[in-house]
Structure 1
Amino acid sequence: MRILGLDFGSKTVGVAVSDSLGWTAQGLEIIRRQSPGKLRQTLARIEQIIAEYQVEKIVLGFPKNMNNTEGDRCEKTKEFKEMLERRTGLEVVLWDERLTTVAADRTMMESGIRREHRKEYVDEIAAIFILQGYLDYLSMHNKTQEENE
């Protein structure tokens, strides 16, 4: 089963997809839009990716504040989640994305990507971190269930 990971921002959506076994996340692309409110083309592109990769579930980064409260970005993310569910018919899981952008930035810095080029990749790498976190959770959850049986 393939799972799609999304890092939803005001101007971009970072996209990652799992391998068919659900073990690893790979970055696909960054969907850019002209206006924060214009989501039709973004949703259409996500639908194309879902069809191309035969995705069965979506994990959407949920941008909680560091103190665990939900701000304006959380509300916009919940609205986007509902749009995705209506358009695709797939389950959309909200996944805590705190510090994923920081981790993505650190990874690029350690990889030697120059500061002026990091903005080009940060959303896609954040989507990878979001999806990989979810995949790791599923793996640990399944392992725990097997041990308890």
Structure 2
Amino acid sequence: MRILGLDLGTKTLGVAVSDELGWTAQGIETIKINEASHDYQLGRLSEIIGEHSVEKIVLGIPKNMNGTLGPRAEASQHFAQLLEKKFQLPVILWDERLTTMAAERMLISADVSRKKRKQVIDKMAAVMILQGYLDSLN
């Protein structure tokens, strides 16, 4: 069973997918979206779900450090409902506190240029969200 991992931003959607055994997460791509106009590129997501025979989606929810939910978390909840309705798949909301920062630090330590980091940061965050979920299962 493959699981899709998503990191929702206002302009991009980071996408990762698990291996068939559900042990590791691999980054797929970063999709350009327009949250303001509710353009989430669901057609592209549908292609990815079909290509990888995805059976479950894990979506990062950015909780505040004290555990409360702010506007970005509410956007993730809304997006989760949209995904469930559109794809008829279970959507798990996974606490993503600090994943983008951790991904940024990892890319900096790997000496990835600022321009290149900007292109892959959301995909890396999606990998970290999905890997955290997979690790919790094992």
Q: TM-score, normalised by structure 2?
A: 0.96
Q: 1:38 deviation in Å?
A: 3.4
> Structure 2 vs 1, CA of residues 88 and 15 (structure 1 numbering), >3 Å: closer, same or farther?
same
| TM superposition shift of 1:77 | 0.7
2:19 paired with 1:19:
yes
AA aligned opposite 1:76: A
Alpha-carbon deviations, 1:13-38, whole Å to 9, x = none?
A: 000000000000000000102x3233
Match of 1:143 in 2: none
Amino acid at match of 1:113: V
> Taking structure 1 as reference, are residues 39 and 54 closer, same or farther at Cα in structure 2, changes over 3 Å only?
farther
**Stretch of structure 1 that moved more, 84-93 or 63-72:** 63-72
For residues 1-149 of structure 1, the aligned pairs below 5 Å read 1-33=1-33, 35-40=34-39, 42-139=41-138
The amino acid across from 1:57 in the alignment is: K
What is the number of equivalent residue pairs in this alignment? 138
Q: CA deviation at 1:43?
A: 1.4
CA-atom RMSD in angstroms: 1.1
- SS of the aligned residue for 2:3 comes to strand
CA distance in 2, matches of 1:107, 1:64: 21
1:98 & 1:108 partners in 2: Cα distance? Answer: 18
Gaps of 5+ in 2: none
CA shift for structure 1 position 9 = 0.7
Structure having the higher Rg: 1
In structure 1, distance between residues paired with 2:89 and 2:18: 16
CA distance in 2, matches of 1:65, 1:73: 10
Secondary structure of 2:35's partner?
coil
- How many angstroms apart in 2 are the aligned matches of 1:133 and 1:41? 24
C-alpha deviation, 1:39, in angstroms: 3.8
Structure 1 residue 102 displacement after superposition: 0.9
Q: 1:37 aligns to what SS in structure 2?
A: helix
Per-residue deviation, 1:47: 1.0
Q: CA deviation at 1:114?
A: 1.6
Distance 1:121 1:65 in 2: 24
Any gaps of 5 or more consecutive residues in structure 1? Answer: 140-149
Percent identity over paired residues:
55
